[in-house]
Amino acid sequence: MSRNFPQSPEQSLLFSEEAPLITIIASEYNASFVDAMLEQTQQELRKLDSRTIIKVIRVPGALEIPLLVKLVAERHKSSAIIALGVIIRGETAHADLIAEAITHALLNLSLDYCLPVIHEVLLLNNEEQAQVRCVNGPLYRGVEAARAAIGAIAATRFI
């Protein structure tokens, strides 16, 4: 193959003249955890492709994320949308119901708009789990969100 032709989805993004525009929609609830994920996501996006244009939209809570995903998908030319939030279980099923509704909504929006929607709205049992996944542990979900977004954009441009 020619050196100028992409040989993989990842390379197709690098050969694209169009810089990826990634919209991050992040919950303000459980801000210390979400803010850490947001920072990791932005840093990793810049590391993976320095041309990446990042737009951040904050919403009060995780349940508001799907509405903003829909509005961004309808009104903007984002290459991908990353949803960031942290839901911590309490004594009732409320957190599980919210997480399930968000999961279904994000999947349906991704399919309806043929747009990568990266789901990093975490449902966790306690703050210790949030600390490990969001702030200082081996499971940095913000980094994974960025990598998933760039990979999904590359794959869609490769098709």
Catalytic residue positions? 94
Closest C-alpha among 97, 145, 155, 95 to residue 119: 145
Secondary structure element (H or E) that encloses residue 104, with its range: helix 94-113
CA distance linking residue 48 with residue 146, whole number of Å: 8
Quick one: DSSP state of residue 114?
A: T
Q: Token pair of 71, please?
A: 């509005």
